[in-house]
């Protein structure tokens, strides 16, 4: 069955603890689901408090993610974070409490089922990317704790040699504990000689003037706050039972959850959003993608070890020109009261929100096609300036999609 993929969205509901939520629109049984949310309950964009995060689930004992919140219109910055491993979807209230949590219940022949561990206050919209099929042979996640010194760190608890890794969160607080500042991070790595990309953002907490920042570059993990990059590392090698991170800047004790995939093909790279509405193509993946994940902070690529003003985040999933999602936030910098925008789209794979007095959408990117060596995109709403966008491509293992060699029929059959 090669690599099976699907993307979509659903509302989580407001059912009580023990309620189940089933998604049964897939054509296969998944092996892992990656989730994303921004805090909206419906498709669209508006100003409002963000509850932004990502999670994943493999089994009842293997799930996790990162979740953040930043309160819109707060006179003093009010922001929180949590990296977790006790749920696959979790949102926070503006008081930093759990606003709702959903956990793995089952994979189904045509989808998946979640169970509510903590009742959601609102019927939040959640997007997802589902992966399965025979090519995906191993899936597991591990917790990585950043060491006290720079240099190589070998993570040897995976149990197999990954082909792809996705990191969720960088937190100085214990796992499943909420802390101040809306620290968010996601990192991706792939390739025989791994390449890495990350997106990190933060709003500092309890300041009268908002201090928000982001960092988006070709590194695997970073944490940002107080206008500084607090840690930086790249995934540099796959090991027989894990992977190696080379840390060039450390903050001892920071934790992250890393999802590891084996089987299929994966590639990472970067593109620029466009200031016109002409098709533009990316090549060099080395295969025809079956799915794409995009990440951007809606600005130019960061300079190494330098944050950029404003916490802007966008994550997108795409499987085909008719199956794609994007969710994002913007948390303005240097304003007296917090000014936050929140977006979810089910017909785009990239979204850029403005820094206008009233925040609006100012850039949208869609998928045109998956190509033999990459993909083609188009701006449905041209960006005002080109923004740096990284991608993770998922594809079939080598051999799928090539003609089978014919073997001559046995003479006994030919003689009939």
Question: What is the model's pTM?
Answer: 0.95
Given this model, what pLDDT does residue 406 score? 37
The pLDDT score that the predictor gives to residue 408 is 41
Q: How many domains does the chain have?
A: 1
240: alpha, beta or left? (left if phi > 0; alpha if psi -120 to 50): alpha
201/304 Cα distance (integer angstroms):
15
Cβ-based neighbours of 196, under 8 Å, separated by 6 or more: 187, 188, 189, 218, 219, 220, 234, 235, 268
Which residues is 328 bridged to in the sheet?
314, 343
The Cα–Cα gap between 216 and 200 comes to: 6
Write out the two tokens for 80.
């929180």
Question: What residues does 54 pair with on adjacent strands?
Answer: 36, 66
Residue of 249, 265, 128 whose CA lies nearest to 198: 249
The DSSP H or E segment spanning 104 is: strand 98-108
Give the pair of three-digit tokens for residue 166.
């996705």
- Per the structure, the complete domain to which residue 28 belongs is given by 4-414
Tokens, residue 397: 């293992």
Contact 222, 213 (CB under 8 A): no
pLDDT given at position 271 = 98
- How high is the pLDDT of residue 252? 86
Residue 208's CB is within 10 A of a number of other CB atoms, namely 10
Mean per-residue pLDDT pooled into runs of 10, the chain (416 residues):
94 98 98 98 98 98 98 98 98 97 98 98 98 98 97 98 97 95 98 98 98 98 96 98 98 95 98 98 98 98 98 98 98 98 98 97 98 98 98 91 40 39
Can you give the length of the chain in residues? 416
Q: Look-up: residue for tokens 């969205």?
A: 9
SS3 358: coil
Whose CA is closest to 184, among 300, 257, 82, 282?
A: 82
* Helices of type H across 13-144: none
CA distance 154 to 102: 32
């Amino acid at each position: 069955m090669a690599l099976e993929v699907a993307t979509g969205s659903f509302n989580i509901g407001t059912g009580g603890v023990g309620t189940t939520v089933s998604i049964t629109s897939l054509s296969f049984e998944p092996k892992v689901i990656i989730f994303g949310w921004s805090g909206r309950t419906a498709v669209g964009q508006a100003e409002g408090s963000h509850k932004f995060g990502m999670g994943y689930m493999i089994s009842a004992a293997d799930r996790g993610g990162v979740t953040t919140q930043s309160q819109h219109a707060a006179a003093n910055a009010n922001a929180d974070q949590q990296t977790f491993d006790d749920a696959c979807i979790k949102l926070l209230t503006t008081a930093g409490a759990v606003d709702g949590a959903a956990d793995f219940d089952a994979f189904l022949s045509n989808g998946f089922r979640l169970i509510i561990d903590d009742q959601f206050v609102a019927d939040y919209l959640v997007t997802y990317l589902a992966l399965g099929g025979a090519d995906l042979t191993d899936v597991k996640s591990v917790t990585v704790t950043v060491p006290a010194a720079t240099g190589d760190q070998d993570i040897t608890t995976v149990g197999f040699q990954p082909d792809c890794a996705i990191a969720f969160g960088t937190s100085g607080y214990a796992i499943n504990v909420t802390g101040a500042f809306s620290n968010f991070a996601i990192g991706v790595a792939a390739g025989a000689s791994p390449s890495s990309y990350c997106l990190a953002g933060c709003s500092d907490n309890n300041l009268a003037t908002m201090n928000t920042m982001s960092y988006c570059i070709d590194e695997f993990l970073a944490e940002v706050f107080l206008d500084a990059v607090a840690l930086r590392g790249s995934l540099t090698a796959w090991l027989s039972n894990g992977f190696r991170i080379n840390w060039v800047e450390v903050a001892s004790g920071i934790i992250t959850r890393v999802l590891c995939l084996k089987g299929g093909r994966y590639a990472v790279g970067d593109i620029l959003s466009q200031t016109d509405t002409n098709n533009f193509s990316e090549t060099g993946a080395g295969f025809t993608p079956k799915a794409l994940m995009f990440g951007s902070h809606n600005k130019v690529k960061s300079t190494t070890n330098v944050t950029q003003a404003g916490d802007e985040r966008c994550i997108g999933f795409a499987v085909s020109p008719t199956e794609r999602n994007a969710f994002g936030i913007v948390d303005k910098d240097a304003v007296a009261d917090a000014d936050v925008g929140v977006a979810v789209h089910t017909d785009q794979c990239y979204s850029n929100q403005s820094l206008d007095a009233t925040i609006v959408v100012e850039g949208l990117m869609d998928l045109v096609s998956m190509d033999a060596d990459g993909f083609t995109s188009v701006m449905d709403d041209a960006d005002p300036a080109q923004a740096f966008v990284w991608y993770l491509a998922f594809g079939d293992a080598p051999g799928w999609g090539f003609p089978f060699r014919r073997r001559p029929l046995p003479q006994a059959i030919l003689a009939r």
